[in-house]
Chain A
């Protein structure tokens, strides 16, 4: 039998039908739903008199527009409140489970899926959100879809998709101290560009990937979309199984052994071929910081703001000029030392417990620089509770960080957590687009430890020079 990749194995076991014009009808194991991209889909079902075909494979939560402050107060944004109410009504009417604001399991959809054990190896997972790629860390094929496709999956439990090509991103060697999963993925995006993997499913392989924890793998897969990929995947292994065992929605004791045997078959076969391939030397990657308005505009913290004239094409020169004007940066400026106003630790990229621990290690016994507002927004209420059990909330509060409730928050600023015009933010999120964190706000993407160090220093710093207490 021809050796197959992880992606091909998952794809083939989900093909319900091949349309004569080419694409496949794929069966969806898990459909995650949130308040922003679902109301029009449910309304479409209602208008057509359709039901949700498999409510038990559909799970909803609220994350994008929820306030992260005091949960006992009513929402002060009536339009956001309507969107939350609409999801609650839709969940009730169509029989879909909802983790709402009052739920101890509420959180960012890409944090709670894995946390609850809903996301499992070999599945196809979809959600009306581009960062659905996160779930690929488990060896699932997980992809973001639009609202019309959300409606399609609700109605049919299937998705029509042309088979993407495959691309292997092989990370050789070991990463050095102070370098995180975030740095690995930012370095890859810097190398191949934000359209570098368009039309492809990325599979991350190599020693540096195998050494990652599940949460770190989620950080890597999360930003696959920032490389333009349809999805990102990592082969399930002992790390994956150990993470899942005992989670509430993971297979129980009775089925566990048999299930793991099946999951072990998913890894790409030796000699399996990918359509494209890129090699990254993990040992050569330093802490990464973005300087522009696209995640591909990134360099080592030891680097400098580039000069537009050094870029090969007119398109790139124009884009860099625009980005530098927006970011208020001058070519040749060292990134280290750049003063910042805000710090955000959180998001589906870096809002899990290991991320908060890494930031807390830096914050411990130190103070946020005067004039800097720093917030920590756990990815889920369970992450928040875990952080409080470990005393991380106390470390952050004593250092002068705000400790908030779970949600997408300042990653996209749909709630009250936004940058003011001109503010510069050290952020652990995934997008540094113009206005992403607030109109006129300036975002620098980096790892949680780098962001925490920036909060303390009041400027971008190289975390490798910081002794951890």
Chain B
């Protein structure tokens, strides 16, 4: 699978400042029966977006007019915890998110993001709080630049924060690499390893 490289992204922000958002919330289990990688965007945060009677829950952050068209999600700590379901990232990506900014991510979710061209960006709790404030004050007009090459997040009103990412994952995102293709270049080493064990 080839991915769109992620070098630098300028986009509209939405804030979901809740800690421990689990992948069961991102994509509830009733949507996991598909055998394709697509078709999950409409399932994103399904049980939060819709009320039990099927109407829109207007209180939910992503349902508010200001959040429409957002491509950067500002999230709480331990985002993506729980189930390993990559469907959660497929749903976020299909919905339009290219980057997620949070104080911390669950390990499997973070790896899944990088496999799908979505950048998981770790900032400090204080920086995230500041971004949430700016996002709310912007009333739908708040935009950020996530620069993976420079490892910086900036807005046009003086906010600037540096971040780090595991170099291998960063390289994958920057180049839109197919991880399998890359590993298969090491085929002789894999074969050697297998021979050495028998």
Contact with A along B149-170 (1 / 0, CB 8 A): 0000000000000000011100
B184 touches A17 (CB 8 A): no
CA gap between A157 and B197 in the complex, in Å: 14
Known: A25-B183, A146-B111. A435 touches B81 (CB 8 A): no
A145 touches B19 (CB 8 A): no
Chain A residues whose C-beta falls within 8 Å of the C-beta of B35 in the assembled complex: 39-40, 43, 82-83, 86
Closest to A422 in B: B52
Additional A-B contact list (18), CB under 8 Å, known A16-B186, A158-B186, A435-B25: A22-B167, A27-B190, A27-B194, A77-B33, A144-B84, A152-B179, A156-B183, A230-B107, A294-B22, A315-B76, A319-B18, A412-B24, A421-B52, A431-B82, A433-B25, A434-B47, A439-B28, A439-B52
Closest to B25 in A: A434
B32 touches A228 (CB 8 A): no
CA gap between A160 and B114 in the complex, in Å: 12
B180 touches A48 (CB 8 A): yes
Interface residues of A (CB under 8 A from B): 16-17, 19, 21-23, 25, 27, 36-37, 39-40, 43-44, 47-48, 50, 53, 64-65, 77, 79-80, 82-83, 86, 128-130, 144-149, 151-152, 155-158, 160, 162, 164, 194-195, 198-199, 225, 228, 230, 294, 315-316, 318-319, 322, 412-414, 421, 431, 433-436, 439-440
B106 touches A158 (CB 8 A): no
Known: A65-B33, A86-B35. A17 touches B189 (CB 8 A): yes
CA gap between A17 and B33 in the complex, in Å: 36
CA gap between A151 and B181 in the complex, in Å: 11
Per the 8 Å Cβ criterion, residues 1-48 of B in contact with A are 1, 17-20, 22, 24-25, 28-30, 32-37, 47
Known: A147-B86, A152-B179. A16 touches B189 (CB 8 A): yes
> Interface size class for chain B?
35 or more
- CB of B75 to closest CB in A, whole Å: 12
Q: Which of A16, A23, A144, A440 has the most CB of B within 10 A?
A: A16
Closest to A36 in B: B32
CA gap between A297 and B13 in the complex, in Å: 31
- CB of A316 to closest CB in B, whole Å: 7
Question: What are 14 A-B contacts with C-beta separation under 8 Å?
Answer: A16-B189, A21-B168, A25-B186, A77-B33, A144-B84, A146-B112, A147-B112, A149-B111, A152-B179, A155-B184, A158-B183, A315-B19, A413-B29, A436-B29
Chain A residues whose C-beta falls within 8 Å of the C-beta of B186 in the assembled complex: 16-17, 25, 158
Known: A83-B33, A294-B20. A23 touches B168 (CB 8 A): yes
Q: Which listed residue (B24, B87, B184) contacts A436, Cβ 8 A?
A: B24
Chain B residues whose C-beta falls within 8 Å of the C-beta of A294 in the assembled complex: 20, 22
Known: A22-B166, A130-B108, A146-B112. A228 touches B81 (CB 8 A): yes
Q: Sorted from nearest, which 4 A-B pairs have the closest CB atoms? A: A148-B115, A39-B35, A146-B112, A146-B86
CA gap between A273 and B106 in the complex, in Å: 24
CA gap between A180 and B167 in the complex, in Å: 42
Known: A16-B193, A412-B29, A433-B22. A152 touches B183 (CB 8 A): yes
- CB of B165 to closest CB in A, whole Å: 11
- CB of A247 to closest CB in B, whole Å: 22
Chain B residues whose C-beta falls within 8 Å of the C-beta of A195 in the assembled complex: 20, 77-78, 81, 104, 106
CA gap between A83 and B32 in the complex, in Å: 10
B25 touches A156 (CB 8 A): no
Q: Which listed residue (B17, B47, B107, B193) contacts A198, Cβ 8 A?
A: B107
Chain A residues whose C-beta falls within 8 Å of the C-beta of B108 in the assembled complex: 130, 144-146
Contact with A along B42-84 (1 / 0, CB 8 A): 0000010000100000000000000000000000111001111
- CB of A227 to closest CB in B, whole Å: 10
A158 touches B107 (CB 8 A): no
Q: Which listed residue (B20, B24, B190) contacts A319, Cβ 8 A?
A: B20
A434 touches B77 (CB 8 A): no
Contact with A along B101-128 (1 / 0, CB 8 A): 0001011100110011000000000000
Chain B residues whose C-beta falls within 8 Å of the C-beta of A22 in the assembled complex: 166-168
A146 touches B84 (CB 8 A): yes
Cβ of B136 within 8 Å of any chain A Cβ, yes or no, is no
- CB of A131 to closest CB in B, whole Å: 9
Chain A residues whose C-beta falls within 8 Å of the C-beta of B184 in the assembled complex: 155-156
Cβ of B85 within 8 Å of any chain A Cβ, yes or no, is yes
Chain A residues whose C-beta falls within 8 Å of the C-beta of B112 in the assembled complex: 146-149
Q: Which of B25, B35, B37 has the most CB of A within 10 A?
A: B35
Known: A44-B1, A198-B104, A433-B82. A21 touches B115 (CB 8 A): no
Chain A residues whose C-beta falls within 8 Å of the C-beta of B147 in the assembled complex: none
Per the 8 Å Cβ criterion, residues 124-154 of B in contact with A are none
A157 touches B190 (CB 8 A): yes
- CB of B39 to closest CB in A, whole Å: 11
Chain A residues whose C-beta falls within 8 Å of the C-beta of B197 in the assembled complex: 27
B34 touches A148 (CB 8 A): no
- CB of A364 to closest CB in B, whole Å: 34
Cβ of B94 within 8 Å of any chain A Cβ, yes or no, is no
Closest to A436 in B: B24
B180 touches A50 (CB 8 A): yes
Q: Which listed residue (B18, B167, B168) contacts A318, Cβ 8 A?
A: B18
CA gap between A162 and B180 in the complex, in Å: 16
Closest to A297 in B: B20
CA gap between A228 and B80 in the complex, in Å: 10
A158 touches B29 (CB 8 A): no
